[in-house]
Structure 1
Amino acid sequence: MKKNILLYMAIISFVSFKGNAQDSKIYVTDKISDKYAYVDIIKTYERIAEKGYKSEDLFKKIGDSYYSKADFDKAAEWYCELFDISNDLEPEYYYQYAKCLLFIGQVDNANKILEKLKQKSGVIKKKITIK
């Protein structure tokens, strides 16, 4: 009987020791995670662009970031840079750029961009004639 009690006590102490060891690992992990810092990717991309690097992908990422944060003034600025590089873009960029221009009060420019979108979609859609 005493052997069984000692065995049960040994098992209980082993389980409780194992549980404390896991808690300490979590604590150590929490301590390590305090060392990491947040990186503002938009500012990093802007610094790259200011140094003269121009890329369609870079301007898309910056414009999309500001667009998703509803900062339409800055989004329009970067979409303008994007459209200076290329006019062969996905239709969503025409729409987003036009929307940004509308929000900042440049209605005429927004209508021009939407007209380009209509022309681009007109090229894609061809009339089918049956003879």
Structure 2
Amino acid sequence: MGQTLESGATYELRAKVDDTRTAASLADIGEVLPPVFGTPFMIADMERACAALLRPLLPEGWVSVGAKIEVSHLAPTPVGGEVTATAQFTAQEGPLYWFDVWAEDASGRIGKGRIARAIVDQKALLDKAEGRA
């Protein structure tokens, strides 16, 4: 991994909220949850933004994986709204790459936090996941 990531580098990911990305779409039968942007989808968008920043650093056969997530969901976004998830690289601490993350919609900030990702050998990861390591 000869390339490095500059502190402050950012990536934005924009996505519409539809019926498949709501709290209601995650509800167990019998629960009534509102048709607003679901927290797991916000976190996933933030993770994808972090991963996009790391992608140019990846040697062939390596991937980035989530390691730590510290995120707060602050406000709802209704179906039809657009959400922008932003990741900003802040530091590398050993194997972890840390990012400040936030999400915004037309009304302002709806989420914020920090995410750490690690760069790992894809084959070793798959072997471990499949019980071969």
Assess same fold via TM > 0.5.
no
Q: Considering fraction of residues, name the structure with more strand.
A: 2
**Highest CA radius of gyration, 1 or 2?**
1
Report which structure shows greater RCO (CA 8 Å, sep ≥6): 2
Q: Considering fraction of residues, name the structure with more helix.
A: 1
TM range (shorter): under 0.3
TM-score (norm 2): 0.21
